[in-house]
Every structure is written in structure tokens, then in C-alpha cells.
Structure 1
Amino acid sequence: MSVERRGRVYRRCSCRDKAGKQLGRFCPRLATDGKHGTWYFAVDLPATTEKRRTMRRGGFSTKSAASRALADVTNRAASGVRIDDRETVADFLARWLQVKVGEAKPTTLRSYRAHVENVIVPAIGHMPLERLRAEHVEQLLTDAMHGRGPVTVRRIHATLRSALSYGVKTRRLPFNVASNVTPPNGARPEVHPWSAAELAVFLRHVETDRLGPLFEVIAACGLRRGEALGLRWADLDLANRTARIRQTVVDVGGRLEFSTPKTRSSEATVPLTERAVQALLQWRLGQDIDRQAWGDAYEDHDLVFARENGAPLRPEYVTRRFVALSRAAGLRPVRLHDLRHGAASLMLAAGVPMAIVSKMLRHSSIGITVDTYGHLSEDTARTASDAMAAALEQAFETTAAAAGDHTATTAGAESTSQAGRSPKSTGQGGGPRGDRTHNPRIKSPLLCQLS
């Protein structure tokens, strides 16, 4: 037996004496046969109660393997990390999800559960948490790519990384093994929303539909579906044509709930177009009629867009209605969310800077805007490039004309002054001043290349 830091490494076997009692470390063969038995370690851990805890683990084929395992345990304990090599990844994730119930939004929690239950646990849930390594995470992501897109796999990776970060924060893990794993490239797919002409056809088609004003506001303001459905009259300032995004409607297992906007930057004030204001005024007239018809049975949530009885509209119903109306209008199929993309494309086409578009859409960073709409700004960039080239060409023409006038003036002055000068005094005839004579008609090499 040898001592390793605060623990010990020893060898034992499963041989038994005549009475059936296991010999363990006292088997005589251990002293004569170096290959007999297997290696174990034992270490005293910090007590969580008044009783001392001793961890004993075995089955190692060599003393070195047992020593490395012991060193790993003692290092974790010394750094204040809680030791529990019986807890599996599945057990840890279940505990993490319980914590997120009180922190995450319902839709985010639902996404976490789907990733954990459908992907992560079936793949690595059986593993002891403390034996989880980066290579296991890499294999998980590789296997997850079958039948899934890179964006989905990146979200799965983000879920596991978030859970393991919680483990580090609570001193359950010494480090996050998922942090240094690079997920597959999740470049955002290019969006191809309706053109201005197509959008006009759609909005004209839905003018007589009950949800027409809703689609008008989404398209004009670039709102997300849940944001539009959570809009309240108290959030509107029609006189100044603004709307404050304060809440969103989400479907949690078939139950509609009010939640906060997607991100902190999403909770902001957005401007309303004149068309959107007119659509809202039209909608309010119809809603007043509904409120009178339902009387005391009307559910008054102060919602702008609601059902006839005032209850929140179901997001999936709004999407189905949008698809049906766009098909009836004879337009190419796009998603309801593409009305938001369309608002961005129209702003970019009008020459609005990318930074302003990002602010209008309330993205958390301009990088998201560039990744999503960078290709839509190509025409705008081309227009800017042409404008720059035109300005440069105009500058060349102006400087060339000025250079021509200067040449004519200089030539006249020289002919007048040379009439009374000798060749030496005028710098002609190969003298030193002749070497420095400058001809303004000769362009510099750089100017020749540009012109």
C-alpha cells in the first residue's frame, strides 16, 4: 500500500478463505504474483456533515491508473469542487432543468427540455458527469448532425454548454468541457422575403380580412409574431406614431401565456407608419363593437389584436391564416416571420444604414443583422460604390481642367519672359536648371494609372 496525497493506493483481489470470507488486501498471492488482483484507491473527502466521507474506487489494471484517478479526485476536492462520481449526466441535467424552471422563459425551457430529452440524454446521459470529456461532446454533435441542420445542432450545443456552465458556477465541475468544442458551422440561411410589389399585393388582398390590420402592423414595424399578439393599447402612442414592445404571447403546451420579449434589447419603442396607424384605428372600431356585443363576458386584457371575446389569438392560428391568405393572393410562399425580414429588406433598399436597421429590428447585436441581411444590402452597396466612382470621376475632370488652365497660363508667361533671356539664364541648353524643369502637361505615374 502507498500513500498518495490525502489518499492511498492499494491492490486487492476477490479471493476467499475456506469460510467464504473475502481476503481482499490480505491475499497471500498479492505478495508473490504482481498480476494478481486489481488496484484501488481510497481518499477522505471534505465532510458535508459531521461524519467523515471516504471514497473508495477500484478495478484499475495498474497502480499508475489508480494514482491518476486519486490525483484527479484530490485536485477537485482541493479546489472546492463537490465530488460525486455516482451522478450521471442525465441526473445532473434533470437537476439543472429544475433550476431553469424558475429562470428561463417558457419557450426557452421547452427548447431545453427537447434538446436534453431527445438528443443529449440518449447519447451521453448514462455517463458519470465527472468522466464527461470534450471528445464525448464532439461525438454527440457529430451524431446529432444526422437529420438535423447545423443551426439546430448549434442550439443543442448551446444547451449543453449552458448546463455545464451552471455546474462550474455551483462548484460541481472544475471546468466546462463543452466550451472548447466548436459546433458545426451554423451560418444563417439567406432570407428571400417578398418584394415591395409582392407585399403590396398581399396587403391589398387582406384589406377586407379581419386579421388584415395585424399583418399590416407586422409588415410595417418588423414585429415578431408573439410581439404583435402581445401588443396592448396602453403600449401605443398613435399621436406620435410609436409602439412600446413590453410583452409577448407564447404557447406553452397548448396554454397561452404572456411573457417578456425575446431579449432585453427587444423591449423597446418602435415607430409606426401612417398606414399602420390607420390600420390600428380601423381595428379599434371593430374591437369596440366586439366588446359591446360580448358585454361582461369580454376578456379585457387590453390587447390590441385579440379574438372576438378579447382572449389572446393563438400564434399557430395566425400563421395558418397568413399562409391561406398569401396562397389565395397568388403569391410565392414565404413564412409569416418573413414579413419582419421584408421590413428589413425594404429599409436596406431605401439606403437605410445597417446599424439603423439593426436598431429598428431590436437585434441584440449588429452582427445578427449583418449575418441575416448582409446579402440584401448588396444592391445598396453597389449603389454607394457607383456614387463613389462618379464622385471620383468628377474630381478627375475638375483637376484635369484646372491643370489645363494652369498650363496655358504658364506657357504664355514663359514665352514672354524668354524673349529677353539667354539660354543659360532660362535653364535651357542642358544646364542645371534645365534638369529641374517641370512640364505640367506630364501626369504622375499614379495619376496615369487612376485615369
Structure 2
Amino acid sequence: MTVTLLAVPDEPEETPNSKPRKSRSRKRANGEGTIYQRKDGRYEGAAFVPTTAGTYKRVRLYGRTREEVRRKLTKALEQADQGIPISAESWTVEQYLTYWLDNVVRPERKPRTAQGYEGVIRLYLIPELGKKRLGKLAALDVRALINRVRAQCLCCKHGVDAARDKPRCCALKGGQCCESHPSVRMVQSIHAVLRNALESAVREEVIPRNVAKLVKVSAPKYKVNRGLTVGQARDVLKAARDERLYALYVLALCLGLRRGELLGLRWEDITLAGCRACDGEGGEVDGAECETCTGSGVESGKLEVTQTLQRVGGALRFVCPKTEDSERTIPLPPVCITALCEHRVRQAGERTDAWEGWQDYGLVFPSRRGTPMEPDNLRRSWGRVRAVAGLKEMRFHDMRHTCVSLLLHLGIAPNVVRDIVGHSDIEVTMTIYAHTSLDDKRAALRKLGDALG
């Protein structure tokens, strides 16, 4: 048998001058993304990432160099591996704020809160940030917003000066700005509304993080010593003695009720146990002074805070109290029971005088026709009382501060004071409302001096 051997040519040896063979590049797997150079010289990267709608979307990233695009692409793929989806829609800040206001705030928050949020969004957030893409909003944008708001002149922004017959501020050619800037509290509110909106977007997986949290805004510093002294409180009650709302001032000082809680108070929320005429068990009050309660020292009465009166959208409305802790039951001391009994007798006379014009809402402190009282009417009454008592610029709300401060000064436990006035956090009771008088400090230092000999 003949065997034929075929010569196998030797592989050519590589020489320094020979060209290297081209190696086949590995094909990129699905999900790794791709990077290529555009005709304009810039680089573009693309990859498929999960979206909030449960689908995958091809995103495109751009940069001046391949390395810049590679970093962006790597970051996008890392977020995808962590299960952080991108928005299925390309929201602008204005579009999302509108959606958040209609679908989250108005159904979940109280009308007054929603009204305040709407004003901040309409006047500040949309004009300043509305056109920006929500996903591209950065901490620097939020800081720039805060700085612009702080520097704004309110006269110019709202057209106040331009509407005057004789402009006095920026609307006047060559005029000097009146420096009417937003308060620290207003700036804090604007930041808080944006932060809450972006936090909702994070929870609904519209954006990966809340950039507003990265920006810190200084909080307003509340002044102390805004409450009344015992002598000033007595002057208020003395000045209000002839007012038809005398009982309202008694409740404000003794129970620390808010203005809206007082104006929304109903007789059905009050139990004046022990007096058949006043608690409704014995029929209507006939106009005579209630001898059962006046000066009797009855201590079994109570008051329940179940609603508050607020102006929302230009109309007075009864709404739920400010917080869950604001719904509370408060025992009535004798001074409050006496004032309420006298007030009910007086109100029966007003109802008789108004007769057919009386509209019975069952309110403790209504208008002279039985309808909910305009807060401006209470403000005018307080203005008279404040002037007679010589309290100058003291606010009506400062009587609430007074109640807290005096109770703490009398040695009442802070948690009891918190429950009486309806604070949600005891820190509010101790830091904002409570204050230490100069006499308290003097007595404390005297004790320290005595101890040191």
C-alpha cells in the first residue's frame, strides 16, 4: 500500500516589519450598552434600563469624550442593577408639581394646607423651576432658587408698586428698592413644599433621589417672652368684661385654644354638668342669669375640640382640627363654666332680638345673627381690648403662649400642658411656647448663690 504524504506549509514567522493580525472583538452582550462617536465629534452612549411603568426604555447619554459617556453609562447601569427605575415619562418640574397637587395633596391634606401649597407652587416654584426636567434637577438648582427668592422684592414680584398711583419702589425710574424681601419663614415654606413634592416623586419611583434634601435652609428664630404676665392677663380679662366675647377671652387664656378652635366651638361640644339650664337638660335658658353655675364652683364640666373654623378659597369652612392631637377633651375650671353660663344667657337675648333673622349653627361664639363669625370681627374686638389693657402690639395668639407659660410656671407637668393645648410634640411646648421670665431666672440664680454660701 502506497502512502502519500502531503506537505503542510509552515506558518509564516512574524517579523518586526510584519503587520499584526486583527483579532476579532467580543460582541457586547445585551444590557451592557454601547458607545459610539457621532458625526459632530461628540460621543453618544445608549442602554436599555427599567422604567417605573415596568418596561425597558433605551436611554441615550452624551458627552465630549468617550470616557465621559462611559462614566454616565456605568452609573445608569449601576442604578438599573440596584433596581432603581427611571421615569417612564419625561416630566418637567411644572408637570409633576401639577400632578402632585391634584392627586396627592388635595385628596390627602386639609383644604387650608392644599391652598397654601398651591400658592407656593404657582407663585414661586413653577416660575423659577417649571421648565426644567424633573430627572435633571440638581441640588445646585435648588440652592439657586433659594438665593433668587431671598433677593426678590415683593413689591416688584406681585406688581404692588406698579399698581400704586405714585410708585415708591422699583417701578419708579431711578427709584431705590424698598428691600421688601420674603421672610425667613416664607423661604423655609418654599423649600419645604419642593422637598415634600420631590419626596413623593421618590416614593413613586419617578426620580431616584430627593435633591432638595441636600440643600439646608435656615429656620426662623422665634422671639421669646411673647406671653403675658399674670398681671397683664388680669388686665385683659378686666378690659374684656363688657365685651360680648368675654367668655372667648377667658377660654383663650385658661385653655390655650386657637382662634379657629374658638370660632368653631359648638354648644354640643360643651358639657356643663350640674346645671340643668345650661347643659340643655332642663330646656331653654329664659334670659335670666343662671344662678346654678355662677359662683357655684362646679368642676364637672368639659369641652371637646372637634372642629375649627378657617377661611379656604375665600369662604369660611368648618374643618378638622390642625392635627390628631388637636382633637382633645379638656376639663373646664369654674372660671370658664361661669363665663360660659353668662355668655349663653346673653346669647339667648341676642337670638330673641334677631328673631327671624337668626340662623342657628349651634355655635358658642357666632356673629350677632348666629352665623360663623368673621375673623376680622374678632380682630377688631381684640384691638379694643388690647388698647384698654395697654398691650400695644400683643397678638391674640399670644394668649395661647400665655396659657402654656403660666401652666409651666405653676409646676404643671409638660406632658399635661401639651395635652391641654393640643400640641403634637412636647418639644413645641417646651421650646417655642414656653419661656422663662426674668423673675424665674433671678430666683434660680439666688438659690445657686445661697447654695454656694
Q: Deviations over 1:388-410 (max 9, x none)?
A: 776xx5xxxxxxxxxxxxxxxxx
Q: 1:153 corresponds to which residue? A: 187
Q: 1:89 corresponds to which residue? A: 93
Q: Which amino acid aligns with 2:410?
A: A
With over 3 angstroms needed to count, the CA separation of the structure-2 counterparts of 1:285 and 1:260, relative to structure 1, is same
Q: Deviations over 1:352-395 (max 9, x none)?
A: 344443333221112112221453256446535655776xx5xx
Q: Does residue 1:42 correspond to 2:42, yes or no?
A: no
Q: 2:13 corresponds to which residue? A: none
Q: 1:200 corresponds to which residue? A: 234
Give the match's secondary structure for 2:418.
helix
The answer as to whether partners of 1:3 and 1:9 remain within 8 angstroms in 2 is no
| More helix as a share of residues | 1
Q: 120, 138, 145: which one pairs with 1:140?
A: 145
Larger deviation: 303-312 or 53-62?
53-62
The answer as to whether partners of 1:137 and 1:178 remain within 8 angstroms in 2 is yes
Q: Using the alignment, how far apart are the partners of 2:149 and 2:430 within structure 1?
A: 27
After the TM superposition, which residues 263-302 of structure 1 pair with which residues of structure 2 at under 5 Å, given as runs? Answer: 263-294=323-354, 298-302=358-362
Q: 1:63 corresponds to which residue? A: 66
Q: Using the alignment, how far apart are the partners of 2:120 and 2:232 within structure 1?
A: 37
Q: 2:117 corresponds to which residue? A: 112
Q: 2:394 corresponds to which residue? A: 334
Q: Which structure 1 residue ranges, 5 or more long, are not aligned?
A: 14-35, 394-449
The answer as to whether partners of 2:93 and 2:132 remain within 8 angstroms in 1 is yes
- The alignment covers a number of residue pairs equal to 370
Q: Does residue 1:226 correspond to 2:267, yes or no?
A: no
Q: Using the alignment, how far apart are the partners of 1:258 and 1:346 within structure 2?
A: 30
Q: 1:313 corresponds to which residue? A: 373
Q: Give the structure-1-normalised TM-score.
A: 0.73
The answer as to whether partners of 1:251 and 1:314 remain within 8 angstroms in 2 is no
Give the match's secondary structure for 2:212.
coil
Q: Does residue 1:189 correspond to 2:223, yes or no?
A: yes
Q: Deviations over 1:129-188 (max 9, x none)?
A: 111222322333333334233333222222222111111111112222222432214332
Q: Using the alignment, how far apart are the partners of 2:439 and 2:418 within structure 1?
A: 18
Q: Deviations over 1:287-334 (max 9, x none)?
A: 223344555654333221111232111223322331243224443221
The answer as to whether partners of 2:63 and 2:69 remain within 8 angstroms in 1 is yes
Give the match's secondary structure for 2:114.
helix
Larger deviation: 343-352 or 273-282?
343-352
Q: Which amino acid aligns with 2:33?
A: G
Q: Which amino acid aligns with 2:271?
A: D
The answer as to whether partners of 1:219 and 1:343 remain within 8 angstroms in 2 is yes
Q: Using the alignment, how far apart are the partners of 2:436 and 2:314 within structure 1?
A: 36
Q: Using the alignment, how far apart are the partners of 1:217 and 1:44 within structure 2?
A: 65
The answer as to whether partners of 1:348 and 1:357 remain within 8 angstroms in 2 is yes
With over 3 angstroms needed to count, the CA separation of the structure-2 counterparts of 1:266 and 1:313, relative to structure 1, is same
Higher relative contact order (CA 8 A, sep 6+): 2
Larger deviation: 194-203 or 220-229?
194-203
Give the match's secondary structure for 2:233.
helix
Q: Using the alignment, how far apart are the partners of 2:420 and 2:437 within structure 1?
A: 16
Q: Using the alignment, how far apart are the partners of 1:265 and 1:342 within structure 2?
A: 20
Q: Which amino acid aligns with 1:188?
A: Y
* Larger-gyration structure (1/2): 1
1:56: Cα distance to partner?
4.9
Q: Deviations over 1:67-86 (max 9, x none)?
A: 34444444455525342573
Give the match's secondary structure for 1:178.
helix
Q: Which structure 2 residue ranges, 5 or more long, are not aligned?
A: 1-26, 152-180, 274-299
With over 3 angstroms needed to count, the CA separation of the structure-2 counterparts of 1:195 and 1:388, relative to structure 1, is same
Q: Using the alignment, how far apart are the partners of 1:229 and 1:176 within structure 2?
A: 40
Q: Deviations over 1:330-349 (max 9, x none)?
A: 43221110111121232233
Q: Does residue 1:213 correspond to 2:262, yes or no?
A: no
Give the match's secondary structure for 1:179.
helix
1:206: Cα distance to partner?
1.9
Q: Using the alignment, how far apart are the partners of 1:194 and 1:132 within structure 2?
A: 47
Q: Deviations over 1:26-72 (max 9, x none)?
A: xxxxxxxxxx432223333547889x764454653222333344444
The answer as to whether partners of 1:233 and 1:304 remain within 8 angstroms in 2 is yes
With over 3 angstroms needed to count, the CA separation of the structure-2 counterparts of 1:218 and 1:315, relative to structure 1, is same
The answer as to whether partners of 2:232 and 2:389 remain within 8 angstroms in 1 is no
